[in-house]
């Protein structure tokens, strides 16, 4: 293939986009719409996961230590706790610290607790965060079995709810994205089919005047790839704008109840690279290869 032909093929591919601009706009529209839907679903489910993760982190159990435990016994408990695999982090809270904290929580009424420091009202305790919330109950039992532990307070009901909600979010998120991808592929395939069908006459003539199959296909490849790339960029910019707008709006209209959620939303910059890469690869792949596949049908003359 000579240089002027290569130039022709690229020029022809780009020119085709303009000549068939209605079809090009339709294809880009379909691609952008599909990418926006998928992108939104992905962002939504990532953020939901993030929030669930945050809620998981908020869960801690408190293990109270027997009042008569000596310093040596507490050391043993410390070691025993360290051996339980599901424990992510733990802090020792002495009874003095516990009282101080309660005073803070009670604010002005804190003075009511004055003088109680000596009376051992609050036991020494450990605050324990678990790694895997779904194994909380099991971990509670492990902690309870340690000698010297008086009692364990753990939000097992909440943990169960969160775990199952998280599972639902994961399954539903994956499912929705999966369905969207499948539907998108169908719509895009159909759009490409129509585009190629509209040009069957050209393809047919090319065959009769002796154009090689490669020569017929390349402009379609160039065209499909370009359209995919354009769609990816448009979808990316639109999603970027939309997402940032929503985040700003949430920040300005913060409600107390939701603040802990919204704080955990990801900034767009943290998903930028993956999202753009996904869109470009998806767009270019579908555009390029889709056209190639559907042109094949008309090459059999």
Q: Which stretch binds another protein (CB under 8 A): 152-160, 175-183, 206-214, 246-254?
A: 206-214
Q: Give the strand order in the sheet containing 125-130.
A: 87-93, 125-130, 61-65, 149-153
User: What residues are paired with 188 via a beta bridge?
Assistant: none
Smallest distance, Å, CB 213 to another protein?
Answer: 8
Smallest distance, Å, CB 3 to another protein?
Answer: 10
What is the number of other CB atoms lying within 10 angstroms of the CB of residue 156?
14
194 binds another protein (CB under 8 A): no
* Comparison of 10 and 73: residue with beta carbon closer to another protein: 10
Which helix (H) or strand (E) covers residue 120, if one does?
Answer: none
301 binds another protein (CB under 8 A): yes
22 binds another protein (CB under 8 A): no
Q: Which listed residue (75, 151, 201, 297) binds another protein by CB under 8 A? A: 201
Backbone phi and psi for residue 34, each to the nearest 5 degrees, phi listed first:
-65, -45
Q: How many residues bind another protein (CB under 8 A)?
A: 22
Smallest distance, Å, CB 196 to another protein?
Answer: 15
Closest CA to 172 of 164, 161, 184, 162: 164
Smallest distance, Å, CB 227 to another protein?
Answer: 18
Could you tell me which residues come within 8 angstroms of residue 55 by beta carbon, excluding any fewer than 6 positions away?
A: 162
* Comparison of 143 and 203: residue with beta carbon closer to another protein: 203
What is the number of other CB atoms lying within 10 angstroms of the CB of residue 282?
22
* Comparison of 197 and 245: residue with beta carbon closer to another protein: 197
205 binds another protein (CB under 8 A): yes
Residues making contact with another protein (CB under 8 A): 1-2, 4-5, 8, 12, 19, 201-202, 204-213, 215-216, 301
């Amino acid at each position: 293939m000579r240089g002027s032909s290569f130039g022709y093929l690229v020029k022809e591919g780009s020119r085709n986009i303009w000549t068939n601009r209605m079809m090009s706009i339709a294809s880009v529209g379909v691609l952008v719409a599909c990418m926006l839907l998928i992108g939104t679903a992905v962002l939504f489910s990532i953020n939901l996961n993030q929030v669930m993760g945050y809620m998981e982190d908020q869960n801690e159990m408190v293990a109270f230590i027997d009042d008569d435990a000596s310093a040596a016994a507490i050391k043993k408990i410390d070691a025993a706790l360290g051996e339980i695999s599901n424990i992510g982090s733990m802090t020792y809270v002495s009874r003095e610290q516990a009282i101080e904290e309660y005073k803070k929580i009670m604010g002005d009424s804190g003075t009511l607790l004055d003088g109680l420091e000596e009376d051992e009202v609050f036991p020494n305790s450990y605050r324990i965060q678990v790694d895997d919330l779904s194994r909380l109950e099991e971990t509670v039992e492990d902690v309870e079995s340690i000698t010297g532990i008086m009692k364990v307070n753990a939000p097992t009901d909440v943990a169960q709810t969160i775990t199952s909600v998280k599972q639902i979010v994961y399954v539903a998120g994956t499912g929705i994205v999966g369905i969207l991808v499948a539907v998108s592929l169908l719509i895009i395939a159909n759009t490409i089919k129509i585009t190629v069908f509209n040009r069957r006459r050209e393809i047919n003539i090319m065959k009769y005047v002796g154009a090689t199959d490669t020569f017929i296909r390349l402009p379609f490849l160039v065209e499909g790839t370009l359209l995919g790339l354009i769609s990816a960029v448009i979808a990316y910019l639109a999603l970027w704008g939309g997402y940032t707008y929503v985040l700003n709006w949430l920040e300005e209209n913060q409600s107390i109840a939701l603040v802990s959620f919204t704080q955990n939303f990801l900034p767009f910059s943290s998903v930028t690279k993956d999202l753009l890469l996904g869109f470009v690869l998806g767009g270019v792949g579908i555009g390029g290869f889709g056209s190639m596949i559907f042109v094949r049908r008309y090459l059999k003359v």
